[in-house]
């Protein structure tokens, strides 16, 4: 019976390591998401407002959400929208 416990030990250790790595990855992801959120609020939002002063804040917020916080994509979306609107 002691032999069975010893044989299971490496598997249990590997499982514990996997759980620890998963927890570490989740913590890293949460930190990254917090950094992106902070960057959106401190950098991207003022940038978009300065580039598109005539655009409603609600529209800018929707574009930021649609772009997933990708500044280049948000700018492209706004520019594309206004180029379409001016073509009409």
pLDDT in tens, 15-72: 999 999 999 999 998 888 888 777 767 777 787 788 888 888 888 888 878 887 777 8
For 77, residues 6+ apart whose C-beta sits below 8 A from its C-beta are 63, 66, 67
> Do 64 and 40 meet the contact criterion of CB atoms below 8 Å apart?
yes
Q: How far is C-alpha 69 from the geometric centre of its chain's CA atoms?
A: 7
Give pLDDT, residue 57: 81
Of residues 55, 44, 61, the one with CA closest to residue 81: 55
Beta strands in 1-88 (DSSP E): none
Spatial CB neighbours of 82, under 8 Å, sequence gap ≥ 6: 52
Q: Is the pLDDT of residue 11 over 80?
A: yes
Residue 82 pLDDT exceeds 80: no
């Amino acid at each position: 019976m002691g032999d069975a416990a010893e044989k299971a030990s490496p598997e249990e250790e590997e499982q514990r390591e996997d759980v620890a790595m998963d927890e570490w990855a989740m913590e890293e992801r949460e930190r990254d998401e917090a950094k992106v959120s902070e960057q959106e609020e401190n950098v991207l939002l003022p940038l978009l407002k300065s580039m598109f002063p005539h655009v409603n804040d609600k529209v800018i917020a929707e574009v930021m959400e649609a772009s997933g916080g990708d500044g280049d994509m948000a700018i492209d979306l706004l520019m594309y929208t206004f180029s379409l609107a001016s073509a009409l």
